[in-house]
Amino acid sequence: MVKKTKSLDEVTIRFAGDSGDGMQLTGTQFTNTSAIMGNDLSTLPDYPAEIRAPQGTLFGVSGFQIHFGSTEINTPGDQCDVLVAMNAAALKVNLRSLVDGGAIIVNTDGFNDKNLRLAGYESNPLADASLSKYQLFQVDITKLTALALADMNLPTKIVDRTKNFFALGMMYWMYNRSVDTTVEWIRSKFKSKPDIVEANTRVLKAGWSFAETTEIFNVRYDVKAASLPRGKYRNITGNTAVALGLVAAASKAKLDLFLGSYPITPASDILHELSMYKEFGVKTFQAEDEIAAITSAIGASFGGALAATTTSGPGVALKTEAIGLALMVELPLLIVNVQRGGPSTGLPTKTEQADLLQALYGRNGEAPVPVLAASTPSDCFNTVFEAARIALKFMTPVMVLSDGYLGNGSEPWLLPNVKDLPDISPKFRSDPNNYLPYLRDEATLSREWAIPGTPGLEHRIGGLEKQDKTGNVNYEPENHEKMVHLRAEKVERVANDIPPAKVEGDEKGDLLVVGWGGTYGAIRSAVEAKRAEGKSVSHLHLRYVNPLQKNVGELLYNFKHVLVPEINLGQLIKVLRSKYLVPAVGLNKIQGQPFKSSEIEEKIDAILGGK
C-alpha cells in the first residue's frame, strides 16, 4: 500500500515499560540517531525509584521522553505526542502525559490478565473504548520478536530482552530515521557475542520492516534538521559534561585531576566517566564512604592537584565538616552536587533543586563558599570549568549544583575549541624568603599555594583556627573575628571577577522571571511564548548563586513584579527577598519532575492579569 509522508517541526515521544524492558537504552539510541540527523533535542530519562520492583507494577515503570525537532528545543516537552507502552502499567502511569489525539503504540502481550491486575485495571483498556480519544496501535511485539529469532534457538530470556529493539525499529520507520547508527552500536557493544549482535540487529530491522509493510501504520513523519550554528556536535548528558569540564579544567590549569567520590544516585556516572581518562592524568578513587571521598580530595589538593568530589544531597550532608576544613585551610576544591528529591533517601531517581540553602548555609560556623549552578546539560561543562577557575584563583572550595534532570538529560553540544578555553593555571610558591602561609593577594585575598616538600615552605594544615599570616593555631577572640571576616570577604570578592548578569528580553518591564539551575529551559520557553503574545516579561537566570552578581539588585528593581519558579518550597526567593527587599512571588513544584513550560505560562498570566 502507498503510505503518506507528513512533515513536522517537532515531536515528543515517550518510551515506557518495566525497568528491565530497556526503555532507557531505546530512548538513548533514538536520541543519538536524532542528534546525528541534526535535530535539536532535549531528553528526560525517568527511572523507577525501586532497583528491582516486581515486573508489571506501577512503581517499576521506567520511562524515557525525547523532544526533538527542526526548531529550537529547550525542554523535553510538556506532553508527548506518541507513547510507546510495553505493558499495562506503563500505559497507566504515562497516559496522562499524552496529548489528546496522540498515538499509543502498545505491546499487546503486556496486557494479559496478570499485567492488568498488577496495574489496577478492572477491564482491558485496549478493548473497553477508554482510549477512544487517542490513536491506538496494537502490536504483539513479544510474539513478533520471537518469530524474528525463531531459527536461532536462543533462550527465551535472551529473546525477550531484544523486544525493545523491535519497538525502536518501528519508531525509526515512523520518523524516517536510519537504523545504521544503532546497528553500529550493537556491533561495538556486543562484539564478543556474535549471537547477541545478530539477534538485536535482526529484531531492530524486523521492527522497521513490520512498520513498512503492515497496514496498521499508513503515515510516516519527516522531521528536518535544525538550523544550528556550524561546528562539530555531540549528544551529551549533564553528568558527562561535568566529567569533561573537569578534564578540560585540569588541562588548562596544567594540573593532574583527582576525583575522590562515593557512588550515589544520580551522580555516579561522573565517577564512571572520569575513570576512563587515565591517559589525561586523571586519578579516580572510589572511597568507602562520603567522608573518605572528600578528605582524600582535600589531600590531593594539598599535594597540588585539581581536586574534586561528586555526590548528591545526602552525601553533601556527610561532607559538611570536611568542606569547612577545606575552607579553613584555604585550598581549592570542587564539590559537585547532582541534586535529587529529599529529605533523607527521598526520591533517589527523581529531580529536585532543594539543596540551595544547604549549599549556602549548611555548615557549622561561618563557612561561606562560592556556589554556581548549571542551567542545561551542556552548560554543566562551562559551569564546572568556571568553578575550577574560581577555586584556583581564590584558593577556596567551590560548590557546583546540578540536578537529576540535568545530569541524566541530554542535548546537542557544540564542541568548544580547546584553544579558546582560558589558561587557568595557578602559581605555586617556591621562594622560601619571607614566606608566611596566610599572606594574601591584595585583590583576591587568596593565600599562596605551597606544595608539600618544597624546602622552606613547611606550614601547618588543619581545622583549628589559624593566626593571621602565620597560620599557627590561635584562639584569640580578635584573631578569630578577623579571620572570619577575611574568609567571608574573599568569597564576596569573587563578584569582582565575574561578568554582570544579563536579562533575556527587555531590561525593564512588568515582570521578571528569575530562575537558577535546571528550570532554565521551561522558563525560557514560557517567557518566549508570552513575549510573542505581546506580554512585558523577561528572564534572568543565575549561574552565580553565591556571591550574586553585582547588578542583580538593579535588574530586579527595574520590574514591577518578580516571579521565581523553583523545584523546592522557595529557597532562592528567600535570598532575593532578604538581600534586595523585593516582594517576589514564588512558583513551587516538588513532584520529582521538572517544570512544564505551560505551568510557568499560567503563572505569568495570573500575575499580569489574564491571557
Residue 599: which CATH number? 3.40.50.920
pLDDT at 51: 75
pLDDT at 1: 67
362 shares its domain with 267: yes
163 shares its domain with 19: yes
Query: What's the mean pLDDT in 561-590?
Result: 98
pTM over 0.85: yes
569 shares its domain with 596: yes
485 shares its domain with 370: no
* 151 secondary structure, DSSP code: G
Gyration radius of the chain's alpha carbons? 26
**Burial of 589 from C-beta contacts in 10 A (0-12 / 13-18 / 19+):** buried
Pick the range with the lowest mean pLDDT from 46-50, 129-133, 175-179, 180-184: 46-50
Judge whether 368 and 394 are in contact, CB under 8 Å: no
Residue 205: pLDDT over 50: yes
Residue 529: pLDDT over 70: yes
72 shares its domain with 165: yes
How far apart CA 375 and CA 238 sit, in angstroms, is: 10
Q: Using CA of residue 239, residue 93, residue 567, residue 523, what is the dihedral sign?
A: positive
**Which residues lie closer than 8 Å to 456 by C-beta, 6 or more apart?**
432, 435
Q: Which helix (H) or strand (E) holds 552?
A: helix 552-557
| Total count of domains within the chain | 4
565 shares its domain with 545: yes
255 shares its domain with 404: yes
pLDDT at 611: 46
- Residue 124 lies inside a defined structural domain of this protein: yes
Judge whether 265 and 592 are in contact, CB under 8 Å: no
509 shares its domain with 491: no
Q: What separation, in Å, do the N-terminal and C-terminal C-alpha atoms of the chain show?
A: 46
pLDDT at 3: 85
Going by C-alpha positions, the residue among 313, 322, 244 that lies closest to residue 280 is 244
How far apart CA 519 and CA 566 sit, in angstroms, is: 7
Q: What are phi and psi of 387, to 5 degrees?
A: -60, -40
- Residue 523 lies inside a defined structural domain of this protein: yes
Residue 2: pLDDT over 80: no
Query: What's the mean pLDDT in 439-466?
Result: 95
Query: What's the mean pLDDT in 251-271?
Result: 97
Residue 190: which CATH number? 3.40.920.10
Judge whether 256 and 283 are in contact, CB under 8 Å: yes
529 shares its domain with 593: yes
What Cα–Cα distance (Å) separates residue 276 from each residue in 273, 375, 541? 6, 26, 33
> What pairs with residue 7 in β-bridges?
222
Query: What's the mean pLDDT in 161-178?
Result: 97
Share of the chain above pLDDT 90, in %: 96
Label residue 296 by pLDDT band (50, 70, 90).
Answer: very high
Q: Which domain holds residue 548?
A: 503-608
pLDDT at 610: 58
